Amino acid sequence: MPYNHKEELSKPERFVGGHRLCAGCGAGIVARAMTRALDEGDKAVICNATGCVEVSTFTYPYTSWEDSYIHSAFENAAATCGGVEAAFNVLKRKGKMDGANYKFLVLGGDGGTYDIGFQSLSGAMERGHDMTYFCYDNEAYMNTGIQRSGSTPRFANATTTPVGSASTGKKQNKKDLTAIMVAHGIPYAAQTTFIGNFKDLHEKAHRAIYTPGPAFVNVMAPCPRGWQYSAEMLPEICRLAVETCVWPLYEVIEGRWYLNYMPKKKLPVEEFLKTQGRFRHMFKPGNEWTIEEAQKYVDTKWEDLLEKCGRDSLTAIR
């Protein structure tokens, strides 16, 4: 069925307001979108890693989640979810379930996914639990105050990679986690963010959730505090991430790579960088090389992606 924005937004919300996430935060949009992608009537268990979403959406005695929800720690959301899924399998086998269709969703930030939760995620994907892992990737440890993570891009100003007279921010490039998840041989992996009317995000979330076996969806989810932008800039930053190919939209189904969006004219990386305070120092005289390096990295990754997808594979599966 083709995506109908109005219809999707008129469905009952499963992630409701009253939570304490910041204005202009991407993480809450991921939470809302992934639960909206559940078919009506299906039940779900949300397993959440420690982070902004956890502390802002389930502050005792209040919860924003209409579905069952469990948080146990920072580094183990996938393993916790594996336990829930295992329980479902055995209780169903023993005739102790209610007959409902259950979906198991994990939600973690990049800290809980790329870094401290990586082992648990890798193990759960390898074991093949029927779960969908959503990473809200805001490219640093935001909940503790903007420390660098394995996902923080090179040159970003973070509180553990501060800019100074001897530093231009983070020294390393961002870990390519989506590709690492693909290398696990899981049936579905995708990269998306908030563009247009959320069609890309919604369709990928739905496809991931309803693919049997493990699935991984990496969602670029900007953070106004860490990236230093004003709330209304969120959609524009996401659009520019895609148009500059900093964050290409693609999905990998059963090992086959599909590019979902080809910019008509690939914009220079500065267009993305200049929207955010975390990259401000890159535009200072003498730091021109940082922008050149950033552009080179984006170009290399983009060419690599086109190679994987096949130059003329944009038709994808739409």
Partner 1 sequence: MSRRDRLSGNEAVAYAMKQIDPDVFAAFPITPSTEIPQYFAQYVANGQVNTEYVTVESEHSSMSTCIGAEAAGARAVTATSSAGLAYMYEMLYVAATSRLPITLACVNRTLTGPININNDHSDAMGARDSGWIQIYAENNQEAYDNYLQAMRIAETPDVRLPIMICQDGFITSHAVENILLEDDAAVKAFVGEYRPEAALIGRESPLAVGPYDTCPYCMEHKVMEAEAMKNAKRAILDVAADFERTFGRKYGFFEEYRMEDAEVALVLIGSTAGTAKACVEDLRAKGIKAGLIKLRVFRPFPMEEIARALAHVKACAVMDKCEGNSACGGPLFAEVRSACYDLPDRPKLINVVYGLAGRDCPVTDIERVYRHLMRILETGETGPLYIHMGQRTAEEEVL
CA atoms of 25 and 196, how far apart (whole Å): 17
| Token output for 114 | 């790329």
Q: How far is the CB of 302 from partner 1 (least distance, A)?
A: 33
Contacts of 63 (CB under 8 A, 6+ apart): 57, 69
Mark the segment that binds partner 1 (CB under 8 A) among 68-76, 150-158, 171-179, 299-307.
Answer: 68-76
Q: How far is CA 277 from CA 62, 158, 163, 230, 297, in A?
A: 34, 11, 12, 10, 20
| Token output for 303 | 């060419």
Q: How far is the CB of 70 from partner 1 (least distance, A)?
A: 4
Q: How far is the CB of 158 from partner 1 (least distance, A)?
A: 24
| Token output for 92 | 């169903």
Q: How far is the CB of 83 from partner 1 (least distance, A)?
A: 3
- Strand 250-253 and strand 215-220: pairing? unpaired
80 in contact with partner 1 (CB under 8 A): yes
213 in contact with partner 1 (CB under 8 A): no
Mark the segment that binds partner 1 (CB under 8 A) among 34-42, 114-122, 144-152, 204-212.
Answer: 114-122
Q: How far is the CB of 201 from partner 1 (least distance, A)?
A: 24
Q: Which of 102, 210, 261, 302 binds partner 1 (CB under 8 A)?
A: 102
- Strand 215-220 and strand 102-109: pairing? unpaired
Mark the segment that binds partner 1 (CB under 8 A) among 81-89, 132-140, 255-263, 293-301.
Answer: 81-89
Q: How far is the CB of 208 from partner 1 (least distance, A)?
A: 20
Q: CA angle, 138 as apex, 167 and 46 as ends, to 5°?
A: 150
Q: 6 or 94, CB closer to partner 1?
A: 94
- 3-state secondary structure string, 79-93? HHHHHHHHHHHHHHH
Q: Which residues bind partner 1 (CB under 8 A)?
A: 43, 45, 47, 54-55, 58-61, 63, 65-73, 75-76, 79-91, 93-94, 96-98, 102, 119-120, 122-124, 126-127
